[in-house]
Amino acid sequence: MAELRRSTPKLAQGCDNRVDVAHLAGDAAKQNASTASPSRARGTHSNEAGRILSVSTTNTIYTVVLRSSSAAWFLDSEPPLSLIDYPSTVGPVSLTFRTHYVNEGFASTVPRHLWVEAQGEGPSFKASIDAFWMAANSALNLISLSANAPIEELQPETAFDATSGHSERAYFQQFMLPDTGFPRQGRIIDADATIAFIGALHHNLHTKDLDQVLFAITFYRAALWHWVPGQELLSVSYLSQGIEALAPLAKARYASQTGMSDDQLAGHWGIDKGWTKLSTNGRRDRLQAAARLHVLFKGDTATHKRAREARNGFQHVTLPFVAARSAAAAARDMTAAYLREAILDLAGVDQATRDTLLGPLFTAPLAWFEPKRYLWGRITTNTDDLAAPELQYPHVLWTWSIKALSRQNERLKVEGSELVKEQVANGATLTIESIEVSGPVPQP
């Protein structure tokens, strides 16, 4: 992830869905930075996607188009979200995020992958692809946390020289499989709240504090990738690392708000026993551990204990696997809620944004996995041969296709048709007794 540094943003006049982000990437990069200003500009960047720019520059301008599977969707009826002058290792880059909707012959277009267009100056073609790729992935951490939905790692699909007047242009393409079949569950991104969150993050936090929060956001996104049954240990491990990244800032912020010294905090949190005998580092560690419990976990000793047991059991093998997995399953949801709320509070978002992102539409992480289909039945046969001649084992062919698709009130309504065909030995019959389907619970 690109190293971020603080600048002071401001709102631009008369703009929609564009955020001018501070170029915050270190001394060398700062020489190329413009003043940051989160703002909203209606789709200007999107309407000119893939354009050739005619500007005065000594460097080449490159466009890199990336894509990702995503449970967070932008509406095609609204302008895409753009981050202007987002930091990268080669200089500022403009990032435009949109969901790719495909006309597949239904009443409504089908939301498929997330598309990101990255454009900026770069010293070389390959270096720019790598830098823009890394910057776009880091920006997706912020969008994923805002929507509380998993977004997979981006992959560069197309890149080219976009500088006006060049007679020969570098070109790159990665051949990727098309998105087909049943669209997985998704959640509409609240662009206003996301813009407010990104603006607050870069406006309110200084360099070191910002780094701690960005690490925590990165760990949170990684936890969402594993928000599926059976992977609770991985989720809690990432969430615990996010909590740990925030502990120094949480302690410092609490001390500033209460006006307490370290000695007073030790007494307040009940860790003053043997306090005077501790080294400076020992006192720091004790206070940060206490801040994790009392500030980040809000005094929830049960969840704090289970999360710690799960993480230590997983990373240091201090518990049997079954016990560690059980602790993770019990701690995961509340640990995620505490971490995400702490990130929003430390970013200093306004009350309206806080209410939106912690409200019913976004408070629960979006579980994102393919529905599982199970069939129970009974094979009747007079021989020990069970499989069809061309197969090794008995099998049921179960195919499903979209019959109709429409969008109603920002929700997809899908009707399907299916074919169930038994493939068993000649003379055998398979009787279906029950069919079960399990998957993510539909979101409100």
For 333-359, the pLDDT digits (tens) are: 999 999 999 999 999 999 999 999 999
pLDDT band at 249 (very low <50, low <70, confident <90, very high): very high
Predicted confidence (pLDDT) at residue 48 exceeds the cutoff of 80: no
In this prediction, residues 9-24 reach a mean pLDDT of 43
Question: What pLDDT score does 399 carry?
Answer: 84
For 118, list phi and psi in degrees, rounded to 5.
-115, 130
Predicted confidence (pLDDT) at residue 37 exceeds the cutoff of 50: no
Q: Calculate the average pLDDT of the chain.
A: 86
pLDDT band at 165 (very low <50, low <70, confident <90, very high): confident
In this prediction, residues 87-116 reach a mean pLDDT of 92
CA-CA distance, 425 to 395, in Å (whole number)?
A: 10
pLDDT band at 23 (very low <50, low <70, confident <90, very high): very low
pLDDT band at 18 (very low <50, low <70, confident <90, very high): low
**pLDDT tens digit sequence for 313-337:** 998 999 999 999 999 999 999 999 9
Place of tokens 């976990």: 297
Question: What pLDDT score does 234 carry?
Answer: 97
> In a 10 Å sphere around its CB, with 0-12 CB exposed, 13-18 middle and 19+ buried, how is residue 22 labelled?
buried
Predicted confidence (pLDDT) at residue 35 exceeds the cutoff of 80: no
